[in-house]
Every structure is written in structure tokens, then in C-alpha cells.
Chains A and B, each alone.
Chain A
Amino acid sequence: MYIWSTTTTNYLMDADQEAVARRLLDEDVISEKEFAEVKAYRSLAIFSLHNELQFLLYLSVLLFTTGAGILIYQNIDTIGHAVILALLLAVCGVCYYLSFKNSLGFSPEAIDFEHPVYNYLVLAATILSCIFIGYLQFQYRPFGAEISIPTFLSAAVALATAYCFDNRSALSIGLTGLAAAIGITVTPKALLENDFFDNPALFYYGIALGFVLIVWAEYSERTNLKKHFSLIFLVFAQHLICICSITGIFGDYWWLYAIFLAAATVYFYQKSHLLWSTAMFVFVLIYGYIGLNILLFKVFDLIAAYQFYEALTLLAPLYFIGSIFLFIRAIKQFNKKTDDSVR
């Protein structure tokens, strides 16, 4: 259960795979029977469009819902509100109805529809219901001026859908919604554009939400409730806590955030070893290293080390060589404990 496993470089084409199997046979690692199995599979000449077609479905849902969102946004004053809402509700209803009809029912384990197309109907239903709630609030303000309630409601719908139909994309929307309800945008784009926060109080909220997610992930792991979701919870929590802490370190209460970051680093370091999650492990190292360097600069600043900048420039290569050695050692240890999952 680790995200980036397919990113392992695949140097080989089909024809070469047989050559590899032949060498394994020559070196007595596999038997004639196992070699024959590889050969037989190769002779089927399978060209799987599984991922490509699923991605096409995914894209179609995104295009459709985006189009619907824009359509509503642009025609807010022309089509009757009731008509739009009714239409949205109807499409949502159809999607949910079809999904429920073909669902195998709730299970704490990982389940899947018999036909993959329903996963994408579930996704469409989730996004459309979020649009529905947002539009309802915009037009009729059933929750008054308090806009975080409908946001929270959308998140709740998405999370319920995720648990009901075992849908990771819906889960991800739900978690983003939760963060949005407390005022944080956690889309990759927002992170890249660095307009994550403009209000320091949000750092605490972000760290608190991250903590709640960790608690929930631990709880689901212990009670076997959708155990496979816990990695997504933890990935969200990791980025939320670490980015909040690192941004916070630049501020006045830097020592507090440094403690948060240190605690998160220790926790996720151990967790990544338990879950064999390479992505989590790598980000632990990255965030930890960034935090450490910021603190180092704080110390330099404190002792006015800029007076010796020549010495520092000359020492920098040695510092990086030292860091590289430590990283290589950390990865070796990770490999030892997780059965070579980084190789």
C-alpha cells in the first residue's frame, strides 16, 4: 500500500521480459514451469487500455461538472433558480439512484462495483451535490450569512459518499471541503501559488485539523473501518501540519511551530516505516530538512554569523555532502525495514 509504486522505472519492453525470465531460468532462480507461464502470458500480447479508459471516464465527469458549474454561474439571473436547482437535483438523484442500485452495499473492507463506470457516476454525483449545496446557499441562504456551514455540509455529503461507495476521489473532495470549512484552501494549485494563508490563526486550525485526521486514521486502522483510506487521511494530515508549521516558523512564535514540526516528523517517520509508504517517507525527509535549514538560518542570524560569510560559503559544499550521506543512510535503513520498497 504505497502510492508511487508504479513510478518505479520500467526499463523493459515486452520482448525483453522473456529474456529476463530466460536468464532467471539459466541462473536456476525459477523453474521451467514458471518460465513457461511468463512465455504464455507474453504470447497473449495483452495491450491493456484499463487505465486509459478509466481516465477518459474521469475526464468526462470533470468536463461535464465543470461545464455545469459554469453554466449555472453564467445564467444565475436568466434561468429560474428553482429550475436550475430542480435540474441539478434530478441529475444528482439519477446518479445516486444508479449507483445505489448497482452497489454491493456498505462494507468496511475495500469494495468495487462490478462495472467500473459506476465509480465515475458516484464522482459526478458528489461534485454535483456540492454544486447544488453551494448554489442553494448562494441563492436562498438557508444557513444565513454563515457560509462555513454549507461548506461543511458538502464535505459531509462527500465523505458519506466516499464511505458508502468506497470512492477515494470523493474522500479527497470531502477532506478538501473540511479544510475549506475552517478557511484553508488545500488544492495543489493554491499550494504552488503560495496563497495558502493570510491569517496566522489558520495555522493553528490547520494543525488541529491535521491532528484530527491522524486520530481518525489511527481509529480506522484499529477498527478495520476502510483501512485502505487511512493513507489518504495521513497524506492530507502530513502536508497540512508540515506546511502550516513551516510557514509558522517564519513568524513570531517560531519555537512553537518548530516543536509541532519536530513532533510531526517523528510521527510520520515511524508511520512511513509501518505503512511502507515511500511517498510519506520522502516528504518526512523533505519537510524535516527544510525546517532544519530554516532553524539553522535563525541561529546564524542570532549569532550574527553573516560576518563570516566567506567561511560559510566554503563550508556549504561540505554541509551538503554531509546531508547527502545522511539521506543515503536513512534510505538504506528504510529499505531494510520495508523489504526494499524504495529500490
Chain B
Amino acid sequence: MTAYDKNLLANTFFIAGAKSLKDGGFITKAQLTDIRTKTPVLKSQGNILVRLGFLLLGILLYSSIVGAISLFAFTIFNISRYEWAIYVYAMVGAAGIEFFVRHDYFGYGLDDAFILGFLSMICLAIGINTESPTAAFAAMAVFGLVCCIRYVHTISALVGLIGITGFLCCLAFDLEVIPKLYVPFTGLLLAIAMYLFYHKTQHKPEAYFYKQALQVLQVFSLALGYASVNYLVIRELSVDWMGMEITPGNDIPLAWIFYILTFAIPIGYLWYALQIKSREMLLMGALALGCSVMTIRYYYSIMPPETALILAGMILFAVAYLLIRKLRHKESGITFGRDRHSDKNALLHAQAILVNSQINVKPAESGSGDMPFGGGGFSGGGASETY
């Protein structure tokens, strides 16, 4: 199934696990070095920044190769139909991936660039040559999943999932195979099917290499499930795509179901996440709840934004404080205690960087704002005009 040597791949995962044990303080640095020298692994890049850097270089390399080929091909063969040339570019990507796989590059950044380049080129080529978005989405779904399985590539899984969802939307809005009215429920059903697939496969031994791709599947299904029944999404889609007019006093059909689901789903996520101890689901639940509050604020502005912000701040503070008090001294299960594997400095540094993007300290000489220290840079909270 995979293009990589199974043993080397397993070793790579094993060493990553050993490193995480070292971060947790279970094994020493010397032990980690010892096992590293004993175990042959694939060339992979664990640090996300370095991987991004190589991704960038890979993209530059890919585009320069494509540029050089175009220069030759267009003049020598006198090609006038550029649409077909895109297939050639896609083939360059495919050849590049196979080259890197042969040389044992796995998640290094360079291979990512060629996989993503191949995917975007092949979908573009099919989309342009058939002039059909449905075909482009179908290509995304098929090639995304193939790349995900063959190259154990997580981002491809996301491409594939977007392809599947887009294909479904095309069936409804473009080809009109599915009645538009049922789109929300079809989306929800698709999300449930995806989640069930994730649930069934996550513990299977064959899925061992695909743990990250399955996590993407989980998060995607949760997001899709929420988005397909969110009141704002439904209402805007009804207006834009179905030409429905919503006058004051009127509402979309089955509005009460969507109101309930808009809040029931996030709360359900949060509750279930704590039951099964899933961090991804917890995060999605929190995000979805935030979106739900904004959805309601978008249509029914109960209080001015500043009051809402202050109140929300106070409520969140109280909730967090109470939860910390309750969980602070627990030694097992759900706790406020730090996991041995987590890094304290990372959170502090992230906050230190983030605070600057939120607090608007303007330069002294700009003179554009009369208030040098207004906190108006914050975009959340649903200020009604700018949402």
C-alpha cells in the first residue's frame, strides 16, 4: 500500500515515540541517542519550521523545473494549447515525489512540496480540460486519498476530504442530483459517516501509520457536521443559492431545528470529548460554541459589542477559574496538572507573540488614531458591522 519500506517507516514512528518519552522524562538523552544509532530510519523533519522552510524551497524548485520545461517545450514543439501542458507539470510533480520516496524522504518538506504541487496541478488540469468543477472535485477526492495512502501524507487526506465534500456540493448545486433542500442533512450524514469510519479504523493495526490522517478525518468530520447545520450557514446558503427571501417575521424552513442544533452540537462535542478524552474534539467543541454565539449575535444583537466583550471576558474568567480550582489537585484522569509530555515554555511564548496581534499599540508618529492605546484591534466577539 505504501511507497515506503515498511520497516523503515515503523522505525521512524518508533523513534518519534522514543523522543516523546524522552520529552516526558521517562528515558534519558543517552538512551535516546543509543536507540537512534541502532535504528535505521527515513529522512524526516520533525520540526515544523524547518519543514516549512524546505516546503518553500521545494515549491521554488518545482516551479523552476516547470519553468525550464515550458521554455523548452513551448518553443521546440510549438505547443499552442497550454491546457494540455498542465498534465505535463503534474507528471513532473509525480516524478519528483517518486524520486524523493526512493531516496527515503518522508515528511521532510521537499516531498510535501511535490505532493501538493502534483495534487494542485492534476486537479487544475482535469478542471480546465473538462471545464467541470464536479470533475475537479472528484479528482481532488481520488488523488488526495491515493497520495494519502501511498505516501502516508496527512495533508493529502485533507485535500481528499475537501474533494469529497465539494463533489457532494456539486451534485446538489451544479448537477442538481440531490435536492438543494436536503443539502444540510446530506452534509450531516456525510459527517456522521466520516466519523464512524474514523471510529471503526482508529485502533486497527493497519491504520498504525495513518494515525495523523485519521485525526484530520476526525476534525474534518466534526467541522463538517457542525457547519452543515449551523443556522448562519443554512440561512446564507438559502438566500444565496436557493433565492429565498427572508422578510422580518419570517424565517427559513425548519429554523427551530437549526437553532437547536447550532447549540446542541457544540455542547455535545464538549461533553463527549471529555468522555472519550479527545483533545481534538474538545477544541472543535469550544470553537464551534464560539461560532454559535457569533451566529446568534449576527442576527440578534442583544447588547452592544463592548458590553458583550466585557461580559464574555468576565464569564470566561469565572468559568476558567472555577474549573482550575476544581481540577487543580487531581492526580489522574481529567486534571489541571501538567502532562509530563507538554512544554511549559511553548504556551508562554505563544501567548507573548499573540498578545501583540491583539493589543493595538500604534506608533507615536503615525497620528492616524487619536487613541494610541485603543484595544480595537481585536476582531473576534462579533462586532455586528464588520463580521
Which chain B residues lie closer than 8 Å to A138 at the CB level? 370-372
Q: Which stretch in B124-132, B238-246, B311-319 binds the other chain?
A: B311-319
Which chain B residues lie closer than 8 Å to A74 at the CB level? 304, 306
Contact B316 A137 (CB under 8 A): no
Task: Select which of B38, B320, B376 is within 8 A of A69 by beta carbon.
Answer: B376
Which chain A residues lie closer than 8 Å to B58 at the CB level? 324
Residue in B23, B315, B356 with the greatest tally of chain A CB atoms within 10 Å: B356
Which chain A residues lie closer than 8 Å to B31 at the CB level? 24, 29-30
Contact A20 B21 (CB under 8 A): yes
Residue A164, interface by CB 8 Å: no
Quick one: which of B5-26 are within 8 Å of A by CB? 13-14, 16-21, 23-24, 26
Contact B359 A130 (CB under 8 A): yes
Interface string of A109-140 (1 = CB under 8 A from B): 00000011100100100010011011101100
**Smallest CB separation, B203 vs chain A (Å):** 8
Residue in B27, B309, B360, B373 with the greatest tally of chain A CB atoms within 10 Å: B373
Contact A180 B362 (CB under 8 A): yes
Task: Select which of B27, B50, B57, B212 is within 8 A of A282 by beta carbon.
Answer: B50
**How distant is the Cα of A51 from the Cα of B344 in the complex, in angstroms?**
8
**How distant is the Cα of A13 from the Cα of B359 in the complex, in angstroms?**
37
**How distant is the Cα of A313 from the Cα of B47 in the complex, in angstroms?**
32
Residue A81, interface by CB 8 Å: no
**Smallest CB separation, A98 vs chain B (Å):** 12
**Smallest CB separation, B76 vs chain A (Å):** 12
Contact B57 A320 (CB under 8 A): yes
**Smallest CB separation, B215 vs chain A (Å):** 9
**Smallest CB separation, A42 vs chain B (Å):** 10
Residue in B286, B310, B342 with the greatest tally of chain A CB atoms within 10 Å: B310
Task: Select which of A12, A41, A172 is within 8 A of B353 by beta carbon.
Answer: A172
Contact B71 A310 (CB under 8 A): yes
**How distant is the Cα of A297 from the Cα of B316 in the complex, in angstroms?**
52
Contact B375 A38 (CB under 8 A): no
Quick one: which of A72-92 are within 8 Å of B by CB? 72-74
**How distant is the Cα of A4 from the Cα of B283 in the complex, in angstroms?**
21
Which chain A residues lie closer than 8 Å to B316 at the CB level? 56-57, 59-60, 63
Interface string of B274-289 (1 = CB under 8 A from A): 1001010011001000
Contact B29 A339 (CB under 8 A): yes
Residue B366, interface by CB 8 Å: yes
**Smallest CB separation, B225 vs chain A (Å):** 21
Contact B47 A188 (CB under 8 A): no
Which chain A residues lie closer than 8 Å to B315 at the CB level? 60
Residue B332, interface by CB 8 Å: yes
Contacts A63-B309, A138-B370, A138-B371; A47 near B363 (Cβ below 8 A): no
Residue A171, interface by CB 8 Å: yes
Residue A267, interface by CB 8 Å: no
Residue A210, interface by CB 8 Å: no
Interface string of B345-387 (1 = CB under 8 A from A): 1111101111111111111111100111111111011000000
Residue A168, interface by CB 8 Å: yes
Task: Select which of A1, A24, A184, A321 is within 8 A of B35 by beta carbon.
Answer: A24
Residue B336, interface by CB 8 Å: yes
Which chain B residues lie closer than 8 Å to A176 at the CB level? 356, 359, 361
**Smallest CB separation, A309 vs chain B (Å):** 9
Residue A259, interface by CB 8 Å: no
Task: Select which of A56, A61, A70, A320 is within 8 A of B306 by beta carbon.
Answer: A70
Q: How many A-B residue pairs have CB under 8 A?
A: 353
Task: Select which of A5, A37, A52, A188 is within 8 A of B26 by beta carbon.
Answer: A37
Contact A324 B54 (CB under 8 A): yes
Contact A47 B314 (CB under 8 A): no
Contacts A10-B20, A57-B317; A317 near B65 (Cβ below 8 A): yes
Which chain B residues lie closer than 8 Å to A9 at the CB level? 16, 46, 48, 107, 212
Which chain A residues lie closer than 8 Å to B274 at the CB level? 47
Which chain A residues lie closer than 8 Å to B47 at the CB level? 4, 7-8, 278, 282, 342-343
Residue B177, interface by CB 8 Å: no
Task: Select which of B17, B310, B375, B376 is within 8 A of A16 by beta carbon.
Answer: B17
Contacts A1-B345, A151-B372; A63 near B312 (Cβ below 8 A): yes
Task: Select which of A6, A120, A187, A319 is within 8 A of B357 by beta carbon.
Answer: A187
**How distant is the Cα of A135 from the Cα of B53 in the complex, in angstroms?**
43
Please name 24 pairs of A and B residues whose Cβ atoms are closer than 8 Å in the assembled complex, sorted by A. A11-B211, A20-B21, A29-B34, A44-B332, A46-B335, A50-B339, A57-B324, A63-B312, A65-B313, A69-B375, A70-B375, A70-B376, A117-B320, A127-B359, A131-B373, A134-B371, A147-B365, A147-B367, A148-B364, A169-B348, A171-B352, A173-B359, A199-B365, A342-B47
- Using a CB–CB cutoff of 8 Å, the interface residues on chain A facing chain B are 1, 3-13, 15-17, 19-21, 23-24, 27, 29-30, 34, 37-38, 41, 44-74, 115-117, 120, 123, 127, 130-131, 133-135, 137-138, 147-148, 150-151, 154, 168-169, 171-173, 176-177, 179-189, 199, 232, 278-279, 282, 285-286, 310, 313-314, 316-317, 319-321, 323-324, 327, 331, 339-340, 342-343
